[in-house]
Amino acid sequence: MASNVPMRNLLSLVQNRSLKTSNTSSPSPLTVQYLLSSSVLHFESAHSVSQKLQIDEGDLQNPHYVIGFLKAHDFKDAHIAKLIHKWPAVLHCKVEHNLKPKFEYFIENGFVGEILPELIVSNPDVLRRALDSRIIPCFELLKSVLGCSEKAASAFKRCSVSMMSAMEPNIDLLIKEGVPVDRIAKLIMLQPRTIQQKHQRMVYAVKALKGFGNRFKDYRFYTCS
């Protein structure tokens, strides 16, 4: 495993033109070195990630701030390595405008300790979604059905934020069809993505179940008569 490279050495490498490559398809040696030194990635992982991500060799500050911010919020090296491997573009996120407001909201709503790194690593999609228009409405909806932030946090970890727009009409449909709210809450806790499927699929599923139930009642009537 490669040894860690101090930041001052990385900055000196930026000035060394011999490290720059004219082949854009090959990862920059500086990028690989930076990933090795900053996120405790093994060489194979750093090489793989660097092929998907171009770090501006003249500006290493933003990736450095991102990693420092994550470490300040209980992210271990293993968390950071896994997050970068799953979504390399996290190193391009702006701390003040993207990460900080979302982390503050999550912490205020029960994502504390290990829960926060678990959320981000398991579902990096939350960092790509708008806080005001996507994340907050989704979380508030979960909380209104489940009754508390702790349960909402547990369900949110296993939800797809990109599919949240279907959740509210699906919940409204189930309530309209007479499904008790506590049953809906149980479904969200056990299988949150079931309630996130496309609305038309949910409509079809409800109709199919109602049809099956009617046939079952007819069968019981004729066999008992």
Give 72-91 pLDDT, tens digit per residue.
999 988 898 888 888 888 88
139-157 pLDDT, tens per residue? 998 999 998 888 888 888 8
pLDDT band at 53 (very low <50, low <70, confident <90, very high): low
Residue 22 confidence (pLDDT) above 50: no
pLDDT of 225 reads 44
Tell me: pLDDT of 24 over 70.
Answer: no
Residue keyed to tokens 């099956």:
212
How far apart CA 18 and CA 105 sit, in angstroms, is 45
* CB burial string 2-33: b at 16+ within 10 A, e below: eeeeeeeebeebbeeeeeeeeeeeebbbbbbb
The pLDDT of residue 41: 54
CA dihedral for 211, 212, 214, 215, sign (positive or negative):
positive
Average confidence score pLDDT of the chain: 75
Spatial separation of the C-alpha atoms in residues 31 and 84, rounded to whole Å: 13
CA dihedral over 108, 160, 113, 64, signed as positive or negative: negative
Give 23's pLDDT tier (boundaries 50, 70, 90).
very low
Under a CB-based contact definition with an 8 Å cutoff, are residues 91 and 52 in contact? Answer: no
Residues with Cβ < 8 Å from 52, sequence gap 6 or more?
A: 88
